[in-house]
Chains A and B, each alone.
Chain A
Amino acid sequence: MYEIIEGFIEAIRLIVTLDPDVMAIAVRSIIISLTATIIASLIALPLGAAINFGKFRGRRSIINLIQTLYSLPTVIVGLLIFLLISRAGPLGFLRLLFTPTAMIIAQTVLIIPIMTGLTISALSGVDPVIRDTLTSLGATRFQFLINIMKEARFAILAAVAVGFGRAISEVGAAILVGGNIAASSFKSSTRVLTTAISLETSMGNIPQSIALGIVLLTIALGVNLVISTLQQGRNP
């Protein structure tokens, strides 16, 4: 018990004094997950719009598949990306394994389904009368899409926030393709909050783990706050 309390006190000290190790890991985590979220948004938002407004066979099945992939285990994604980019894999020549780029790819793949699915829900949640109104006002196909997106903006931003939350909190893929490497340069290190907590805990370095855990929780809390604010904004 004493050990835990001591751990907490030490953790607070590490955070308050802006311990360089802890801060580097936190900043790296945010950069990697934010990059993954941005790339995933660029794919998931148009994809979600295309599926929502598209008229094609198997549309319903695609939506079902996407929803199934919400709960895709992160280690499975990690394993798939690992197989693709490991030296013997088809993309092995790119030498991406154990780089931050590999982690970004894995997190992007991981969150595309949930962001696509939530984008579809966001867009299909727009009142049909609003859609008809846009059409009747003489919108071109592009103007129509932009304005529907605007109308669903709060729900879409919430989808993006959910994606970021899932990316920053996952550990399985990050450890498999990142390798939790603390290299000399900030850029080539792959140690992020989740993988570092996992390692420090196994090494008995409890204060460090707790400090990193508090930082991760704070980020998760912040993301949640953003989501709930956005969801309230949906219905003024």
Chain B
Amino acid sequence: MIELDGVSKEFDGKRVLDGVSARVERGEIFAIIGPSGAGKSTLLRLIGLLDNPTAGTIRINGIDIHASKEQSLMIRRMIGMVFQKPAVFNTTVAENIAIGLRFRGVERATVIKKVREALDVVGLAGYEERLARTLSGGEMQRVALARAMVIEPEILLMDEPTANLDPVSVEKIEELVIRINRELGTTILFSTHDMYQGQRLAHRIAVLMNGRFAQVGTPREVFTLPATRDLARFVGIENILEGVVVRRDDGGAVSIDVGGTQVRARSSFGTGERVALCIRPEDMRIAPVERKVANPDGNTLQGTVISIVPRGPFSSVTVDCGFMLSSLLSWKRADDLDLQEGSHVVVSFAPESIHVIRINET
């Protein structure tokens, strides 16, 4: 129902969006993720008719939304928007939420009823007469969400709605997003630089890089099968090795030469192709050399522990096997293995856990 077709936007000669194309289906939660400054906000502003594209078209239900000024108000009224910065009007909470309904000439009794319902949904029942500016950031953002929701838009655009909020508020907003989508069937597009938020909420994720969608797919596809090396790096795949396919076996198994070491993987690429190997640190196992396990089909590489860095409940262990490999272990596991910097270890990983990308595509 929302079609982006070669959407580009320039600001003072600087190209921020460079031919973004995608299709968002009705009732879908669609996340736009990308590094800061990638143009996520710009794209949402174009869809929300707050700005005009330099080139390309955006169609909603088949209508080119930037084509005619006369239709602009009608289309804007189909869309609700929540911004990164929680912004409320300098009046009561109830007035804040009612404003969109008033613009549409909804009668008083209905306005009061809808405002009360919306406050109930966002968990701010009884806040009607409070001054909106006296609320906390998280509460203001919930008012902003209620304000956008109460007009029952077909499409809800959210520009990094939780970027400035504390974890508890983030969780509440996320619950609301899912609830609005399920109960009202609202199509939701939101941007975030938090990949995991994209994963938690979205049916599909689009990764915006260098002004265009580098990949659009389900969270699983984007996180496990990134299409390019940059994407792999962005979605947090720490081990990216370069090599050349040296042998193909039947059944899709290949041998790849990585700086003199042979790595076995599964791929359809032919001999001689330059490829990047993406291996998630959590798919990597580490064992002391003496406890070497037989693993005929997999990859077992010997190396030396270079560093052990705590990361949340895990330890990130970097091993030099001729090239660097990072592995993620629970603290307990790292203690059990008695890992120290300088320890000799064996790193093993299955061919299936390697995602192979052709290098000239990056």
Q: Which residues of A contact B (CB under 8 A)?
A: 127, 129-130, 132-140, 143, 147, 150-151, 234-236
Chain B residue contacts of A234, Cβ below 8 A? 90
Identify which of A136, A140, A143, A150 contacts B81 (C-beta below 8 A).
A136
Chain A residue, CB-CB nearest to B84: A129
Pull 6 A–B residue pairs with CB atoms less than 8 Å apart, ordered by A: A130-B89, A133-B144, A134-B99, A137-B80, A150-B90, A235-B133
Bound Cα distance from A140 to B103, whole angstroms: 8
Identify which of B48, B131, B151 contacts A236 (C-beta below 8 A).
B131
User: B87 and A140: CB pair below 8 A?
Assistant: no
**Can you list, as one digit per residue, whether each of B65-101 has a CB less than 8 Å from chain A (1) or not (0)?**
0000000010011011101010101110000000110
Chain A residue contacts of B77, Cβ below 8 A? 138
User: B76 and A147: CB pair below 8 A?
Assistant: no
Q: Which residues of B contact A (CB under 8 A)?
A: 45, 48-50, 73, 76-77, 79-81, 83, 85, 87, 89-91, 99-100, 103-104, 131, 133-134, 144, 147-148, 151, 157
Task: List 9 tightest A-B contacts by C-beta distance, closest first.
Answer: A136-B81, A138-B77, A129-B87, A137-B100, A129-B85, A129-B83, A138-B76, A138-B103, A139-B103
User: A136 and B148: CB pair below 8 A?
Assistant: yes
Chain B residue contacts of A150, Cβ below 8 A? 89-91
Number of A-B residue pairs with CB-CB distance less than 8 Å in the complex they form: 60
User: B81 and A132: CB pair below 8 A?
Assistant: yes
Bound Cα distance from A137 to B90, whole angstroms: 16
User: B73 and A138: CB pair below 8 A?
Assistant: yes
Bound Cα distance from A134 to B316, whole angstroms: 47
Bound Cα distance from A45 to B50, whole angstroms: 25
User: B99 and A132: CB pair below 8 A?
Assistant: no
Asked, given contacts A138-B77, A138-B151, A140-B73, whether A133 binds B87 with beta carbons under 8 Å apart, the answer is: yes
Bound Cα distance from A73 to B91, whole angstroms: 40
Chain A residue contacts of B83, Cβ below 8 A? 129, 132-133
Chain A residue contacts of B85, Cβ below 8 A? 127, 129
Bound Cα distance from A129 to B50, whole angstroms: 11
Bound Cα distance from A5 to B128, whole angstroms: 58
Chain A residue contacts of B100, Cβ below 8 A? 137-138
Bound Cα distance from A150 to B102, whole angstroms: 15
Known: A137-B100, A138-B104, A151-B90. 17 other contacts (CB 8 A): A127-B87, A129-B87, A132-B45, A132-B83, A133-B147, A134-B99, A135-B49, A135-B76, A136-B157, A137-B99, A137-B147, A137-B148, A138-B76, A140-B103, A147-B99, A150-B90, A236-B90
User: A137 and B134: CB pair below 8 A?
Assistant: no
Chain A residue contacts of B157, Cβ below 8 A? 136
User: A136 and B103: CB pair below 8 A?
Assistant: no
Q: Output the least CB separation between A158 and chain B (Å).
A: 14
User: A147 and B89: CB pair below 8 A?
Assistant: yes
Chain A residue, CB-CB nearest to B77: A138
Residue picked from B50, B90, B99, B144, most chain A C-beta under 10 Å:
B90
Chain B residue, CB-CB nearest to A134: B99
Bound Cα distance from A143 to B131, whole angstroms: 22
Q: Output the least CB separation between A202 and chain B (Å).
A: 49
